[in-house]
Structure 1
Amino acid sequence: MSKELSYTIEEVSQLLKVSKLTLYDLVKKGELPVFRVGRQMRIDAKDLDIYINSQKTNQSKKLQAPELELKRNITKDSYNIVISGQDMVLDILGKHIEKNSPYKPLRSYTGSLNSLISMYNGEYDIVSLHMFDGDTGEYNLPYIKKILVGYPYILLNLLSRKAGFYVKKGNPLNLASWTDLNRKDIKIINREKGSGARILLDEQLRIHGIPSRDIKGYENEESNHFSVASAVSSGKADVGVGIEKAAKIVGIDFVPLITERYDLVILKNPESEHLISVIKDILSSHRFQTEVHSLGDYDISQTGNIIYETY
């Protein structure tokens, strides 16, 4: 096998000086071919060169190159869709989608709020959400109603799970409630802006009247649950906010504080009608639910239920 250079989405983003969302959109539209190694999407250097040349002025003849048109047609026929979110259950969902439909799922690991905004801009097909609203005590819907203005959509439950504190083994600092974060002997590790865990933390601080500026370590961020849990395990921080699954994998203790509803939102239009039907069938299937249940720490009692739908 010949050794050809390839790039990750992040590397191409840096090379072209464009956002990763822009690249996901090009992949979704079939304009930039990709292949996958495990969970990671990669782009052949040759395909990247073809795309760059096709975008140059006075290069209309190159756009008609048979090999380029063939690549585009193959990509379009595979019905690429982009699923945004970080939970490993989304990998299981993607596997079932690929096995039981013509869709080819691609993954983005962007946080809930930024993903929802990207969906409004037409960049994602399925967005997973776990955003707590402190005024209503409800998850997800208050944010969707404010952001997806003018769009019909359906909100389906994927699962429920515990969220709370990552703490060191034995919980030596006896952290048990949100107000404990205001203690002067506590240093936290935060999640990035727009993530569901960051929204949960910020809403709880607001509800309890705790200024974020008083929280030691508030400005220190990690981009996923496992990195936050690892920061606590290594002693970089005393506590972080996340989900139970990551704590068990990393090997630290977990203090459950809230049950969060983890949902999927899909825009409703003629193009997504079949996709919605596929997702409904998968979520309600015994095979999918059994596979998710076997992971532990997930509540599937509402999986597949329609939480909200507009017409």
Structure 2
Amino acid sequence: EQLKNAIRQALVEHDIVVVNAGASAGRQDYTASLLAELGEVIVHGVAIRPGHPVVLGIVEGKPVVGIPGYPVSAMLTLELFVKPLVHSLSGIAAPQRTMIEAVMTRKVFSLMGQDEFLRVKVGKVGSRLVATPLQRGAGITMSLVRADGLVRIPRGWEGLREGQKVPVELLTSLEEIENAIVAIGSHDLALDILANYLHKQYPRRSLSSSNVGSLGGLLALKRGEAHLAGSHLLDEESGEYNVPYVKRLLSDQEMVIINLVYRQQGLIVAKGNPKGISGLADLVRQEVSFVNRQRGAGTRVLLDFKLRELGINPAGIRGYERVEFTHLAVAAAIASGTADAGLGIMAAAKALNLDFIPLLKERYDLVVPRLYYESPFLEPLLDILQQPSLRAEVESLGGYDTSHMGQVVAKL
């Protein structure tokens, strides 16, 4: 009744009414039924994703739009339905965003029957514009914050191929994209701080990072889709980080490996460690649920290596197949109570006030093609790596050793 009265009052004072949330078909979703009672529902549900449950109605001769409550869905439906209404009723032409053509850096699967609007990071590497898909899902707000553009996957397609050229509707300026250093690879919180330093000291420059795992980052370098890649891949035979992988995968290119940090990897658990977890052996206990990282992530490689050392079959770990794409996402799953443990870095546990069981110290490097390492384009970033204030801020996160930050590990 309160919502009905609020809609009536809004119609008296405004030309368009937008009702946020309550657009789906659940027991607590009232928007569609109220609009049917007050006026006429023209459409309830459209063939788009995210944003499918949107409600379009007319009440007292005025448009009323019920948008989904999830933030990504809300943004998209506002863009597609409310924004054109505002411009139409104002008698002005809707501004058009810049459209570009870019190359997809990864294969994307999509459900047929709905147009999907995919958020992407866009960068210019060499002479090519490349688009890297961000995490999907109607509730992943950071995908909106980090997105440079939108790619529409038509409803009759099953997805996009790696290397496919696609039209991208830009959410930022082409100048910003051309001035962005493209980093594709493993996730680390130090990269976020590095990006802030770069943009603060060089306002026209930015570090555009996409989290696809260490192995994915090296493969992106091989395809010429990034200026650098974050990596922490442990070679089981030699015990060396990154260098053996770079030699195997990028032998046809001259590469420079630069240390960013050494960091503590371990098990992230709930505050107070209520399940009494002390090490990887506890993951096979039936009452313990685990959250993993995606295939190709350095943390996943490390976990599998350690499980083999201990003779633990991953099939016996409840939640081994459940994956997240960042350390913070793993920590968030544990903070929310949907998992009891996950392998990650100390800084992620500290950020969400969780407990941490240290297991080992690992090296996290930046892998850079020599072509870019020696170019003026990367000079600002490489200079910032030498600044003591950056090192101090990274170490304040917890679990980091920056004593070798900026040092060249190898030239291959």
The answer to whether the 8 Å contact 1:30/1:80 transfers is no
The answer to whether the 8 Å contact 1:162/1:256 transfers is yes
Q: Distance in 2 between matches of 1:231 and 1:38?
A: 20
Equivalent of residue 267 in structure 1, options 356, 369, 390: 369
Equivalent in the alignment of 1:241: 343
Q: Distance in 1 between matches of 2:150 and 2:292?
A: 35
Say which SS state the counterpart of residue 257 (structure 2) adopts: strand
- Note the C-alpha offset of 1:101: 8.8
Q: Distance in 2 between matches of 1:199 and 1:186?
A: 21
Equivalent in the alignment of 2:16: none
1:67-122: CA deviation from partner (whole Å, max 9, x where unpaired) = xxxx86x468x443202343232122223334349744322122111111111111
The answer to whether the 8 Å contact 1:83/1:108 transfers is yes
Q: Distance in 2 between matches of 1:271 and 1:298?
A: 24
Equivalent in the alignment of 1:302: 404
Question: Is the alpha carbon distance of 1:270 and 1:201 closer, same or farther for their aligned partners in structure 2, counting shifts above 3 Å?
Answer: closer
Say which SS state the counterpart of residue 292 (structure 2) adopts: strand
Equivalent of residue 41 in structure 1, options 147, 152, 175: 147
Structure of greater relative contact order (alpha carbons < 8 Å, 6+ residues apart): 1
Asked whether 1:177 is paired with 2:279, we answer: yes
Say which SS state the counterpart of residue 218 (structure 2) adopts: helix
Bigger shift: residues 197-206 or 255-264: 197-206
Say which SS state the counterpart of residue 264 (structure 1) adopts: strand
With structure 2 as the length reference, what TM-score do the two structures score?
0.58
Q: Distance in 2 between matches of 1:302 and 1:232?
A: 31
Equivalent of residue 153 in structure 1, options 240, 243, 255: 255
- Note the C-alpha offset of 1:4: 5.8
Equivalent of residue 320 in structure 2, options 218, 228, 240: 218
Asked whether 1:127 is paired with 2:233, we answer: no
Asked whether 1:162 is paired with 2:264, we answer: yes
Equivalent in the alignment of 2:134: none
1:193-248: CA deviation from partner (whole Å, max 9, x where unpaired) = 11122111111112222222222211111222222122223332221111111112
Asked whether 1:94 is paired with 2:192, we answer: no
Q: Please provide the CA RMSD for this pair.
A: 3.8
- Note the C-alpha offset of 1:37: 10
Equivalent in the alignment of 1:66: none
- Note the C-alpha offset of 1:128: 0.8
Q: Distance in 1 between matches of 2:307 and 2:148?
A: 40
Asked whether 1:229 is paired with 2:331, we answer: yes
The answer to whether the 8 Å contact 2:180/2:205 transfers is yes
The answer to whether the 8 Å contact 1:130/1:262 transfers is yes
Q: Distance in 2 between matches of 1:214 and 1:5?
A: 53
The answer to whether the 8 Å contact 1:186/1:238 transfers is yes
Say which SS state the counterpart of residue 147 (structure 2) adopts: strand
Q: Distance in 1 between matches of 2:332 and 2:373?
A: 41
Max Rg structure: 2
Equivalent of residue 182 in structure 2, options 57, 70, 82: 82
AA at the equivalent of 2:293: R
With structure 1 as the length reference, what TM-score do the two structures score?
0.75
Q: Distance in 1 between matches of 2:339 and 2:273?
A: 13
The answer to whether the 8 Å contact 1:28/1:80 transfers is no
Equivalent in the alignment of 1:24: 122
The answer to whether the 8 Å contact 2:119/2:148 transfers is no
Say which SS state the counterpart of residue 295 (structure 2) adopts: coil
Q: Distance in 2 between matches of 1:32 and 1:218?
A: 32
Q: Distance in 2 between matches of 1:140 and 1:157?
A: 10
Say which SS state the counterpart of residue 371 (structure 2) adopts: coil
Q: Distance in 2 between matches of 1:134 and 1:16?
A: 44
Q: Distance in 2 between matches of 1:181 and 1:44?
A: 40
Asked whether 1:190 is paired with 2:296, we answer: no
- Note the C-alpha offset of 1:181: 2.4
Aligned residues: 279
Question: Is the alpha carbon distance of 1:284 and 1:270 closer, same or farther for their aligned partners in structure 2, counting shifts above 3 Å?
Answer: closer
Identity between Structure 1 and Structure 2 (%): 32
The answer to whether the 8 Å contact 2:258/2:367 transfers is yes
Equivalent in the alignment of 1:283: 385
Q: Which structure has greater strand proportion?
A: 2
Q: Distance in 2 between matches of 1:115 and 1:182?
A: 31
Equivalent in the alignment of 2:305: 203
Q: Which structure has greater helix proportion?
A: 1
Asked whether 1:255 is paired with 2:357, we answer: yes
